[in-house]
Structure formats: structure tokens, C-alpha cells
Amino acid sequence: MKKLFTLTFMMIMGCVMTFAQSVEFVDKDGKTITNGSTFIANGHIEDMGWAIEMSSGVYVKNNSGSKADVELILDVKSCTEGTNLSCCAGGQCSPLWEGENIKTFSIEGNVTDDPQIHWTYEDPELEASAEVVLTLKQDGKVASTVTLKFSNKIDSGIDSLIADKALCNIYDITGKLVKANVSKNAVNAMTKGLYIVRELTGAKNVNKVIVK
């Protein structure tokens, strides 16, 4: 009887391991994004001339040693008029419309893949936003769900995220360094535009700042 119980237990555990989800959402540093949480987009920002593009900073990681076939459901809840969402998961780029949009693709074992979820907006001085619920499925089962939010709501000053005495580097929208080792308030004396202020020490926080 004991042997039968042990064999049954091992078979059950084997099934659990077989159907365990190996994929998850991670941030740009490879840290797990908690299932059911809200994630504020913090990816690369690029001025394309006709619009500004912001990437999500959300990645999909396959923790197993073998290829995983996944389904990414992007449920667009809101998107400010005049702004656009897109996704290039699987190598095929397509716009995201209000409601559910589905992408299927494969990820090699022990690989982190960028689904390339992008949001574009034309005028950085006009407040705009977008919200998308991301659901990651493997073998038809939900592995993780995350609410992704985009926003260009940026103050002309710098909030308390960066310490007052901290030294910072200031970059323009293209990522070019324009000022190094300066106070965060140095940006207020710069010409009109969108800047990225990165703290050099401590938590190394980042602020996106509009100078009007």
C-alpha cells in the first residue's frame, strides 16, 4: 500500500510539473512583474519626427529549457484620441484596436523576448494615456495577467522621486547626453522640450520632464 501511495504521488507530481507554466512577464532588468499588478510603461522613448514613441518595458521570459508556444492577449481598455498602440510580437507588427487583440508566437528555452508593445503620441505637451490588460497564456492556460499603463503626463518641474542633492545626467529625447553631473533642477533652465533626468547614485531613479 505504501509503495502504491508513493507511485501515485509521483505520478501526480509529474503531471503538475508537466502542466506548470514556464513563461512570465518581466521588466527590462529581468525581474518578475507580479501577476495581477499594474505596470507603468518605462521603456525607450524615441522622437520619430511625426510623433513620439514609447515602448512598454514589458518582456516575456521562458524559464524552461525548451521552446514554449505562447499566446499574448492585449485587451485595450482605453487609448486617448490621436494616439496609437501597436505590437510586433512574433515578428509581425500590427495596430491594437479597442478590445482584445491576440498574438501567438514561440520563445526558445531560457530566452527573454520583447513583444515590442509601443504607444505613440504627437504632442508631448497635451496629456494623453493608454491602458492595456496583458494576459499571457501557455498551453491554453493563463500564466500571468498585468495591467499596462502608458502616460505622457509629465510636470515641467521634477518631483520628489529624485533627491534634491542628487547628481544627475540629463538626456534629450533621442538619448543624447546634454548635461552631466548636475542638479536635477538644472533642467528648468534649458530650452523647451522633453528631457530624461537620470539619478547617478542611490536608487538611480529616472524622471521624464517637459520644459515649457
Kindly tell me if the per-residue pLDDT of 14 is higher than 50: no
Mean pLDDT of the chain: 84
What is the residue whose three cell numbers read 496609437?
84
pLDDT tens for 140-198 read 999 999 999 998 875 545 555 677 778 889 988 778 899 999 888 888 778 877 888 88
Listing DSSP states for 152-202 in one string gives ----SS--TTS-TT-EEEEE-TTS-EEEEEEEGGGGGGSPSEEEEEEESST
How many other CB atoms are found less than 10 A from the CB of residue 151? 17
Which of these, 96, 97, 120, 93, lies nearest to 105 by C-alpha position?
Answer: 93
Edge-to-edge strand order for the sheet containing 112-113? 23-26, 59-62, 112-113
Q: Report the candidate in 181, 177, 175, 178 with the shortest Cα–Cα distance to residue 199.
A: 181
Please tell me whether residue 48 adopts helix, strand or coil conformation: coil
- How far apart, in Å, are the Cα atoms of 188 and each of 54, 195, 197, 210? 23, 10, 11, 9
The alpha carbons of the chain give a radius of gyration, in whole angstroms, of 21
Binned at pLDDT 50, 70 and 90, residue 7 comes out as very low
Q: Is the pLDDT of residue 13 over 50?
A: no
Q: What is the pLDDT of residues 95-115, one digit of tens each?
A: 999 999 999 999 999 999 999
